[in-house]
């Protein structure tokens, strides 16, 4: 006898009152899918909810929230001992301010459409980035950023976010262009070495963060490598044009100004503590080791998802 699919929705507590999501959940249940909801209010909740889902034999764990919620749920899957094929698949209902991963992946923001995609599209292997910072281990589903990108994300006020959504990051970013203080680091990887000052640093599994900053515009989430972008200090005119170009998703100015590479891993070292934003969560250390772990989770994505290398070959 065929069993109904079992889904577990892990909902960011900030979105718990969303009527459209509640209606979409009811519609999914009426189609015979067993969908339970758990709300995440504080650190550790997602870990507990995912462990419970695995114990219950759930087929798919769905993160409902922004990039941080996706990362939190992906992390709880990633650091388990099981192989990706033995774990529930991962999905996302985008409900954040910027939804950078969802935007780049062409995931629908409508909850009903997001659920329909989960039901219709088989989960595909997706890489994650494992980050060692001192004694802590973290995982990144989308992008790790330092310098300009980190300041924009961490200093954008909640009031601006509520008023302008993703545009709030643009407003904050353009206001900070003239105030960027370079940071110094030594960065190395397989066949790669760089040392100097930077105003922006990005290590991508995905392509964009901070409300549309396309700092790793050629990244794939299924190619087994990470994308590195280093932006050294710039002349004022080029700096302004670069900042605007990043927000608009243009690659030309970035290519002209940045050092870029694709690597299996990178080591970032600094005399002074660096703050690197891991999918919205700032972590400070003098040493970071970031490696790409191929196919660590399986995620439901659109058939034509631009972040998938295989999808891009089939659907150019």
Catalytic residue annotation: 281
- 163: which residues sit within 8 A by CB, 6+ positions away? none
Q: How far apart are CA 221 and CA 202, in angstroms?
A: 15
Q: What is the 3-state secondary structure (H, E, C) of the chain?
A: CCCCCEEEEEEEHHHCCCHHHHHHHHHHHHCCCEEEEEEECCCCHHHHHHHHHHHCCCCEEEEEECHHHHHHHHHHHHCCCCCHHHCCEEEEEECCCCCHHHHHHCCCCCHHHHHHHHHHCCCEEEEEEEEEECCEEEEECCEEEEEHHHHHHHHCCHHHHHHHCCHHHHHHHHHHHHHCCCEEEEEEECCEEEEEEECEEEEECCCCECCCECCCCCCCCCCCCEEEEEECCCCHHHHHHHHHHHHCCCCHHHHHHCEEEEECEEEEEEEEEEEEEECCEEEEEEEEEEEEEEEEEEECCCCCCCCCHHHHHHCC
Q: How far apart are CA 89 and CA 26, in angstroms?
A: 21
């Amino acid at each position: 006898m065929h069993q109904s699919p079992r889904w577990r929705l892990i909902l960011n507590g900030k979105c718990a009152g969303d009527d459209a999501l509640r209606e979409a959940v009811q519609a999914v249940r009426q189609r015979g899918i067993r969908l339970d909801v758990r709300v995440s209010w504080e650190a550790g909740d997602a870990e507990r909810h995912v462990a419970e889902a695995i114990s219950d034999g759930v087929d798919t764990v769905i993160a409902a929230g922004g990039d941080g919620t996706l990362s939190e749920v992906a992390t709880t899957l990633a650091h388990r001992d099981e192989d990706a094929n033995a774990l529930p698949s991962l999905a996302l209902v985008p409900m954040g301010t910027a939804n950078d991963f969802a935007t780049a992946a062409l995931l629908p923001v409508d909850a009903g459409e997001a659920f329909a995609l989960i039901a219709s599209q088989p989960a595909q292997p997706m890489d994650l980035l494992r980050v060692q910072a001192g004694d802590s281990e973290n995982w990144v589903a989308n992008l790790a950023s330092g310098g300009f990108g980190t300041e924009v994300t961490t200093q954008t006020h909640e009031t601006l976010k509520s008023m302008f959504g993703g545009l709030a990051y643009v407003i904050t970013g353009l206001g900070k262009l003239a105030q960027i203080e370079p940071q110094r680091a030594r960065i190395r990887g397989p066949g790669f070495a760089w040392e100097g000052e930077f105003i922006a640093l990005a290590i991508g599994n995905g392509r964009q963060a901070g409300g549309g900053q396309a700092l790793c515009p050629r990244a794939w989430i299924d190619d087994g490598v990470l994308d590195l972008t280093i932006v050294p200090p710039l002349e004022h005119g080029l700096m302004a044009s670069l900042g605007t170009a990043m927000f608009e998703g243009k690659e030309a100015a970035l290519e002209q100004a940045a050092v870029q590479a694709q690597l299996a891993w990178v080591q970032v070292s600094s005399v002074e503590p660096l703050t690197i934003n891991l999918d919205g969560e700032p972590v400070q250390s003098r040493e970071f080791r970031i490696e790409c772990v191929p196919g660590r989770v399986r995620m439901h994505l659109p058939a034509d998802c631009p972040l998938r290398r295989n999808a891009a070959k089939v659907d150019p």
